[in-house]
Amino acid sequence: MDVNQLLSDVAMATCLSEGSEGVRNVLRNVMKFQPIPLHELAKIVKIPVPVVSSVRKELEKRRILERKSGIILTEQGRLLVGSLGIKSGGPKKLDGGYKFPDWLIPLADNFEEIQRSRPEPNYKLDQSHCNSATAVLRAAYLYDCDALEGRNIVFIGDDDLTSLAICLLSIEYGLDTGNIIVLDIDDRLLDFVSQFAKSLDRTVKTEKYDFREGIPENIVNGNDVFFTDPPYTISGLRLFVSRGVEALDTGPGKMGFISFAGKSPSENLAAHEVFTEMGLAVQEVIPSFNNYIGAQVHAGSSSLIRCLTTHRTRSVSAMDITKIYTADRNII
Amino acid sequence: MDVNQLLSDVAMATCLSEGSEGVRNVLRNVMKFQPIPLHELAKIVKIPVPVVSSVRKELEKRRILERKSGIILTEQGRLLVGSLGIKSGGPKKLDGGYKFPDWLIPLADNFEEIQRSRPEPNYKLDQSHCNSATAVLRAAYLYDCDALEGRNIVFIGDDDLTSLAICLLSIEYGLDTGNIIVLDIDDRLLDFVSQFAKSLDRTVKTEKYDFREGIPENIVNGNDVFFTDPPYTISGLRLFVSRGVEALDTGPGKMGFISFAGKSPSENLAAHEVFTEMGLAVQEVIPSFNNYIGAQVHAGSSSLIRCLTTHRTRSVSAMDITKIYTADRNII
């Protein structure tokens, strides 16, 4: 059996946007960690569960994989994966990205409380909530990047309630931020955020805004930091990041934090073209920083991308604003 | 005293490419960690030691900083930094990036041995050696990214001897790589690498090449992975990455690993424009992954950037190849 042909056949049969490499990645991780449950495998290879499931089915049909309290390789499968140079065992997995530290646990517990009372996600708006660990780790990361103390911070959408996680961290450590402003299209969310902040004796300004219509005049140019977890389309990313840029003070060194996960290398390339087009300098890209509750999209995680403005930073004016949310794709 | 004016005055007086934000960054970290030695401060703020030193001098002149077994704030300095919203104390620093694991220590020790006998760096070629921890952590990271097993790997320059670190890891864990090829302009280095690999009973192919003249025909398109730590100029980056792309198989999902540290947000932006121009999709950017021996450039560290090829990946043909190394800047 020609192994490269097989990888490419399975990639084709499942329309896998990661191509042959994606199939190799699945097989490699079964070799290393078998027996492995489907969900764990999806998380490691960063491919959504239903997609990994259909790759598994194709590989079962071809008698490469089978199930035995988890996914395992058949005898033939082991030979085939071995012929790619891949062995079982090997060095341990590295500890990468940002570790969730013990001292953040009480804050995550408090955040969990907040989450219990918040409005349900509106999937039409591509809302899907990050988990409590992600929310408070975001706050701690912003602090590490000097994006909190004395900073005016604007959220271009905040259904994740990251603004409230910042309030919790600030209270715990006696930090003083500048203004925190949340712009969002969702009234329920805005009410919840401003009420909850008030109950914590903190101020989060909120303003209803559809980003397709620009951002409020009084917010333009007044901020040091923007944070956004935009809809999962390149047009959505482009629009939200552009509004973030408009909200920042001019001049270099202002900060943008963007959560995003391309469904393929091409989509990640398109995302980075958005950043370079706007003159944003990427400083750090942290895969799987963001983890979402129950999300099947992107295997439940996304990258956190940290940018700085430069002398060439500018928002983009003309853009396609008809296809912002993934739901819009079905309409058109 | 107008604090923003002061930050901007000091940035001007020291020609700081990070601008006011860079001065704030210095002051913030003195507030958090005082008394702090100059070298430690430089490492945290990621600005070269001589530059931080001149910022310190300017701030001493203005009676904001003073020295007392390390750099500290004066009474006036504390008030001033406080007026920026910055307090002493606060949350602990997060553990980010890739932790060096204990199980890599024996390999780092072995690599240290190799380093003792290698040729001295040629600074005209922007050679500056990464330390042993970086070299073996690179090898382990490549393994984590599935860039080793059965992969054909080409080094576009390898004065860091990362190819030998891969040999050490492969021996320790019984890994089989595909071909490992090192292309470099430096004969001494090529001899050393191929000899040492031989002494380890491994094969690293080496070929002398000036990347300004292209890469060998027999290497074009044959590889799954390229690795490069290019000269510290955008033209150098552009040339080396372009040669890396030429060495890769066509089709998406092939891997590029690039070490780079811009001296300013603008230079980082220019670097990412190189990647998007060539159709490389940035997957991960890890600040301070690479640490160099005795290097004053970039405060002794640089980012490791992981890219994947896409359907649109292509090398660039026309480029300015007269200013590849920083030394060339003085010639012209």
Whether residue B78 sits in one domain with residue B109: no
Tens-digit pLDDT profile for residues A33-67: 999 999 999 988 988 889 999 999 999 999 999 99
Q: Does residue A92 belong to any structural domain of this protein?
A: no
* Statement: residue A332 has pLDDT above 50: no
A276 has a chain B CB within 8 A of its CB: yes
Q: Which residues of B59-76 are buried (b: 16+ CB within 10 A; e: fewer)?
A: beebebbeeeeebbbeee
Return the DSSP state at B100.
Answer: P
Q: Does residue A91 belong to any structural domain of this protein?
A: no
CA–CA distance, B239 with B221 (Å, rounded to integer): 17
Q: Which of B52, B83, B114 is the last residue of a domain?
A: B83
Domain count, chain A: 2
Alpha carbon of A10 to those of A4, A59, A110, A115, A169: distances in Å?
10, 7, 45, 41, 47
Phi, psi of A219 (to 5 degrees): -100, -25
Q: Report the chain B residue with the minimal C-alpha distance to residue A177.
A: B85
Whether residue A132 sits in one domain with residue A62: no
Q: Does residue B95 belong to any structural domain of this protein?
A: no
Asked if the Cβ–Cβ distance from A146 to B281 is below 8 Å, we say: no
Whether residue A112 sits in one domain with residue A147: yes
Alpha carbon of A244 to those of A126, A203, A254, A275, A289: distances in Å?
18, 20, 11, 12, 20
Asked if the Cβ–Cβ distance from A103 to B91 is below 8 Å, we say: yes
CB B321 within 8 A of CB B238: no
SS (H, E, C) chain A: CCHHHHHHHHHHHCCCCCHHHHHHHHHHHHHHHCCECHHHHHHHHCCCHHHHHHHHHHHHHCCCEEECCCEEECHHHHHHHHHCCCCCCCCCCCCCCCCCCHHHHHHHHHHHHHHHCCCCCCHHHCCCCECHHHHHHHHHHHHHCCCCECCCEEEECCCCCHHHHHHHHHHHHCCCECCEEEEECCHHHHHHHHHHHHHCCCCCEEEECCHHHCCCHHHCCCECEEEECCCCCHHHHHHHHHHHHHHECCCCCCEEEEEECCCCHHHHHHHHHHHHHCCEEEEEEEEEEEEECCCCHHHHEEEEEEEEECCCCCCCCCCCCCCCCHHHHHHC
Q: Which residues of B touch A101 (CB under 8 A)?
A: 92, 94-95
Structure tokens at B44: 């945290």
The residue count of chain B comes to 332
CA–CA distance, B236 with B329 (Å, rounded to integer): 12
Q: Find the mean pLDDT for residues A91-117.
A: 92
Asked if the Cβ–Cβ distance from A177 to B91 is below 8 Å, we say: no
CA–CA distance, A112 with A133 (Å, rounded to integer): 9
Whether residue A296 sits in one domain with residue A184: yes
Best residue in B266, B274, B301 for a mutation probing chain A (most A CBs within 10 Å): B266
Q: Does residue B74 belong to any structural domain of this protein?
A: yes
Q: Does residue B305 belong to any structural domain of this protein?
A: yes
Q: Nearest 10 degrees: CA dihedral of B32, B34, B36, B41?
A: 30
Tens-digit pLDDT profile for residues A58-88: 999 999 999 999 999 999 999 999 999 999 9
Strands B301-309 and B225-228: unpaired
For tokens 């708006």, the residue is A125
Q: Could you give the 3-state DSSP secondary structure of residue B45? A: helix
Q: Give, for B283, the enclosing helix (H) or strand (E).
A: strand B280-291
Whether residue B112 sits in one domain with residue B184: yes
- What percent of chain A lies above the pLDDT cut of 90? 71
Whether residue B245 sits in one domain with residue B169: yes
Tens-digit pLDDT profile for residues A140-176: 999 999 999 999 999 999 999 999 999 999 999 999 9
Whether residue B223 sits in one domain with residue B316: yes
* Statement: residue A330 has pLDDT above 50: no
Interface of A with B in 136-155 (CB under 8 A): 137, 140-141, 143-144, 146, 149-151
CA–CA distance, B50 with B47 (Å, rounded to integer): 9
Q: Does residue A34 belong to any structural domain of this protein?
A: yes
Alpha carbon of A292 to those of A45, A328, B277: distances in Å?
16, 22, 32
Whether residue B309 sits in one domain with residue B192: yes
Interface of B with A in 29-58 (CB under 8 A): none
CA–CA distance, A199 with A114 (Å, rounded to integer): 11
Q: What ranges in chain B are assigned the alpha helix state H?
A: 3-13, 19-33, 38-45, 49-61, 75-83, 105-116, 132-144, 162-173, 187-199, 234-247, 265-277, 328-331
Q: Report the chain B residue with the minimal C-alpha distance to residue A174.
A: B90
- Hey, which residues does A257 pair with through a beta bridge? A227, A306
Q: Which residues of B touch A21 (CB under 8 A)?
A: 252-253
For residue A151, the Cα-to-chain-centroid distance in whole angstroms is 23
Non-local CB neighbours of A82 within 8 Å, separated by 6+ positions: none
Whether residue B114 sits in one domain with residue B56: no
**Residue A247 is part of a domain; what is its CATH number?**
3.40.50.150
A118-125's contacts with Cβ under 8 Å and 24+ in sequence apart are A118/A161, A118/A189, A118/A192, A119/A186, A119/A188, A119/A189, A119/A192, A121/A159, A122/A159, A122/A186, A123/A327, A124/A325, A124/A327, A125/A159, A125/A185, A125/A186, A125/A231, A125/A325
Q: Find the mean pLDDT for residues A253-278.
A: 93
Asked if the Cβ–Cβ distance from B86 to A150 is below 8 Å, we say: yes
Asked if the Cβ–Cβ distance from A266 to B174 is below 8 Å, we say: no
ipTM for the complex shown: 0.90
Peptide bond into B35 cis (omega under 30): yes
A22 has a chain B CB within 8 A of its CB: yes
CA–CA distance, A223 with A147 (Å, rounded to integer): 11
The chain-wide mean pLDDT, for chain A, equals: 90
Q: Which residues of B touch A169 (CB under 8 A)?
A: 91
Best residue in B21, B305, B314 for a mutation probing chain A (most A CBs within 10 Å): B21
Tens-digit pLDDT profile for residues A128-143: 789 999 999 999 999 9
pLDDT value of position A217: 83
pLDDT value of position B46: 86
Alpha carbon of A145 to those of A114, A180, B96, B299: distances in Å?
25, 16, 12, 18
Whether residue A257 sits in one domain with residue A206: yes
For residue A331, the Cα-to-chain-centroid distance in whole angstroms is 25
Whether residue A120 sits in one domain with residue A34: no
Q: Report the chain A residue with the minimal C-alpha distance to residue B151.
A: A85
A121 has a chain B CB within 8 A of its CB: no
Tens-digit pLDDT profile for residues A201-221: 999 999 998 888 878 888 888
Q: Which residues of A touch B253 (CB under 8 A)?
A: 18-22, 265
pLDDT value of position A331: 35
Q: Report the chain B residue with the minimal C-alpha distance to residue A88.
A: B175
Q: Does residue A297 belong to any structural domain of this protein?
A: yes
The amino acid at residue B199 is S
Max Cα–Cα distance, chain B, nearest Å: 67
Asked if the Cβ–Cβ distance from A253 to B22 is below 8 Å, we say: yes
Please report, in tens digits, the pLDDT of each residue of chain B (332 residues total): 789 999 999 999 999 988 899 999 999 999 999 999 999 999 889 888 899 999 999 999 999 999 999 999 999 999 999 999 999 988 988 888 899 999 999 999 999 999 998 887 777 766 678 999 999 999 999 999 999 999 999 999 999 999 999 999 999 999 999 999 999 999 999 999 999 999 999 999 999 988 888 788 888 888 999 999 998 889 999 999 999 999 999 888 899 999 998 888 899 999 999 999 999 999 999 999 999 987 655 568 899 999 999 999 998 865 656 666 665 544 33
Structure tokens at A67: 């199930």
* Statement: residue A185 has pLDDT above 60: yes
Alpha carbon of B290 to those of A133, A317, B287: distances in Å?
28, 38, 8
Taking each helix axis from N to C terminus, what angle separates B162-173 and B132-144, rounded to the nearest 10 degrees?
60
**Residue A27 is part of a domain; what is its CATH number?**
1.10.10.10
Whether residue A198 sits in one domain with residue A248: yes
Strands A71-73 and A65-67: antiparallel
SS (H, E, C) B173-213: HCCCECCEEEEECCHHHHHHHHHHHHHCCCCCEEEECCHHH
Q: Does residue B227 belong to any structural domain of this protein?
A: yes
Structural domain including B218 reads 102-331
Q: Could you give the 3-state DSSP secondary structure of residue B87? A: coil
pLDDT value of position B22: 92
CB A229 within 8 A of CB A205: no
Interface of B with A in 191-250 (CB under 8 A): none
The amino acid at residue B96 is G
Whole-model pTM: value is 0.91
